[in-house]
Every structure is written in structure tokens, then in C-alpha cells.
Amino acid sequence: MASPITQVHNPADQNHSINNYPQKSKKDATKSKRKKIFKALFCCFSEQRLVSKQELTNVPTSDSLMKPMSPNLLGKKTLVLDLDETLVHSSFKPVAKADFIVPVEIEGQLHQVYVSKRPHVDEFMQAISQKFEIVVFTASLAKYADPVLDLLDPNRFVHHRLFREACHHHKGNFVKDLSRLGRDLKTTIIIDNSPTSYLFHPENAIPIDSWFDNENDIELLDVLPLLDSLTQVDDVRTCLDENNLMESTIRIKQLESPNSTTTTSLNLFK
């Protein structure tokens, strides 16, 4: 039975046998992530490199996934956010301190989904609400993600919601093709815990660690200074592409491996 939720494997969960790329220790991963954010932030304050990216710049087309930008948002950059393990973590197993319990019907049977909010997600959403056109782009199904977003975003900061059917299925993975959004790639940013999701546009990505249950997590707060600085640059890729080049190259090689599986639709009903 396919799950409506698309998640990465929790390395602390020994109940699921899933092939995944090697996980760094939490300490090493946190140090590495802070280093990357600092590097990108420094780049934003430095003189922008004279690199031609015209061939990567996108313009709206008739088959765009989103409608043209609202007049009140003109001039703002587009921030694409992942949902699962980026903003929330969901489980079909009861969670004592779940923030929401969302009923989801699957094959005629009603299941309860226990949803926990990532620490500081409310503060994060408030902080970005006046600075960006906000898009939540998830590889999960709408029948799960839509009610979760209704509860997560009561102030309706999110301007667009995109679900699994909007993803590009590439070698068994759900890839979020930013060129189909109908927005200029120079002004489009994606924050996602899965490198596979931004495989086509790593130069637009801010990686974030997967979140499962760490109550001391501050990743969403850590990324705010970088987002603030990106609002001031003409082309966000001048700050982000160097930051992600090595990681993306490694990830592409992993995807080309015949045994590679990363972002996995977990069957949690076994």
C-alpha cells in the first residue's frame, strides 16, 4: 500500500529496512550545515561573481504550475518550502506530543496521522511572510498535505501549494522542477531536506537537515539571515550554486547507482 506521505528514512528508526546514502553524525552534520550557511551568507555580502546564467533563467509559460504572481507580490522573490521533515514530521504511529492529528482516508479506511511541528516553524513563517512569495511544494499527496497546511498555516502566509502530481518522476524519485513554476530562476529559492528534490536546480537550493523529533533544533532560525541577504541580490544563484556544487555532484553519482533509493514513500501500515 503506497503512503500518501513522502519521507526520508529516520536513521534512528530501526524498523524500516531502506537503502539510503550514508548519514553523518548529528554533530558533524550540524557543523557542516552551519559552515555552508555562513559561506553562502558571506558570498551574498561580497561582490557578485560575473557568471552568466541566462540559460538557466525561466520565464512564465502556458503550462506553468502556478498562476502569474499577484500584483501585491511583484518585486519579491519566490521561496519554495518542502513540508515533511523540513517544516513538520508526521507518523501513523501515535505521538504523545503531536501538534495535530489529521484523518486521512486510504483505500476506504480512515487513518490518523500524527503531525509534529519543527521547532520555531511559526516564528520562521512569520519572519518570511512579508519578504517572499511563499510556495509549499511537497512530494506527498494533497489529501494529507492540504489539511496539514490548513492547520500549520492558519494565517495563510503560503500563497501556493503544490503536491506530488506536480513533481517530476525521475529514476524513481520525486524531483521538484523549479523551471515549471513560471517564475524567474534568478529569484527562486528552495529549502528542502532531500537533495533529490532539487536535483535539477541545486544552484537555487538551501539544504536543511531532516527533522524528526529533536526539540532543540534551530535550523529554521539559522537560515533566516541568509534569506534576508538573498532578498538584496539580483541572482540568488550567485550565492547558492557554489554552496551546493560538491554536494549535488555526489548526489547525482548516487542516483546513477543501480542500488540508489533516497526519498522513499514509506509503507507505514505494515
Mapped onto helix, strand or coil, the DSSP state of residue 231 is coil
Would residue 84 show up in a list of annotated catalytic residues for this protein?
Answer: yes
The alpha carbon of 184 is separated from its chain's Cα centroid by a whole number of angstroms, namely 18
Please compute Rg for the chain using Cα positions.
18
Torsion region of 174: left, alpha or beta (phi above 0 gives left; psi -120 to 50 gives alpha) = beta
Say which residues have a Cβ less than 8 Å from residue 150's Cβ, sequence separation at least 6: none
Catalytic residue among 13, 28, 82, 153: 82
Q: DSSP character for 2?
A: -
Say which residues have a Cβ less than 8 Å from residue 69's Cβ, sequence separation at least 6: 76, 78, 133, 183
CA 166 to CA 175: how far, in whole Å? 9
Mapped onto helix, strand or coil, the DSSP state of residue 233 is coil
Catalytic residue among 28, 63, 84, 99: 84
Residues recognised as catalytic: 82, 84
